[in-house]
Amino acid sequence: MKDRILVTGFEPFGGDRLNPSREVARQLDGRRVAGHAIVGRCLPCAFGAALPALQSLIGEVRPGIVIALGLAGSRAAVAIERVAVNLIDARIADNAGAQPIDEPVIAGAPAAYFASLPVKAIHAGLREAGIACEVSHSAGTFVCNQVFFALMHRLRAWPEAKGGFIHLPPLPEHAALHPGGRPMALEEQVRAVELAVAVALTRPVAAHGSTGSID
């Protein structure tokens, strides 16, 4: 099943009605990119339920590439995440009312993992396509980071599969709820993730110019 690509989004959270990541995963479900079928699914935004859902999807789909998506309401661009940390520090309660503080995602696991997607090649590909994007070095400490970390932990045993996480900016309908972000239309978000899949299929994790920062 290595020709399958799993794209996950999240249900809305924090009192929101919308989550672009869920809509993007929905729209990509069933699409084919270079002969590879995308399976788009939605994860619950709850610490207790998200990982079992992710694990059963990976077991069922047995994908060669996993791209997990989530909303980052304060972002002005598509953020390709590079690092997942083994830390949960929830600023708000999840959809089940849980708000764990200073707990590991997986006790005894390393402090962090890097995405195994070609992060910089995806960044370059999106920029060439005129899509606002950035490489990010923190996926936060909420459910998205938890899923990203658990995904990379799981893929250690499966090195031929690539995985990573992309945070999406708010939708235009969202603008009032997320004044810190810069909205991006759903069609552009879908195009961005489809392009990320295409790049991940064709490009190795190779060196590119710096996308780092000093502080």
Q: How far apart are CA 135 and CA 125, in angstroms?
A: 12
CA 65 to chain centre: 12
Q: Which of 5, 7, 21, 25 binds ligand PCA (CB under 6 A)?
A: 21
Q: Which of 140, 163, 181, 183 binds ligand PCA (CB under 6 A)?
A: 140
Q: How far apart are CA 120 and CA 108, in angstroms?
A: 30
- Number of helices (H), then strands (E), belonging to the chain: the values are 5, 11
Asked if 171 touches ligand PCA (CB under 6 A), the answer is no
Please calculate the CA angle 46-50-53 and round it to the nearest 5 degrees: 145
Residue nearer to ligand PCA on the CB measure, 92 or 214:
92
Asked if 71 touches ligand PCA (CB under 6 A), the answer is yes
Q: Which of 63, 64, 70, 118 binds ligand PCA (CB under 6 A)?
A: 70
What's the token pair of residue 13? 């959270």
Which candidate in 81, 123, 174, 178 is catalytic?
Answer: 81
What is the identity of the amino acid at 41? R
Active site residues: 81, 144, 167
Site residues for ligand PCA per CB under 6 A: 10, 13, 19, 21, 45, 70-72, 140, 142-144
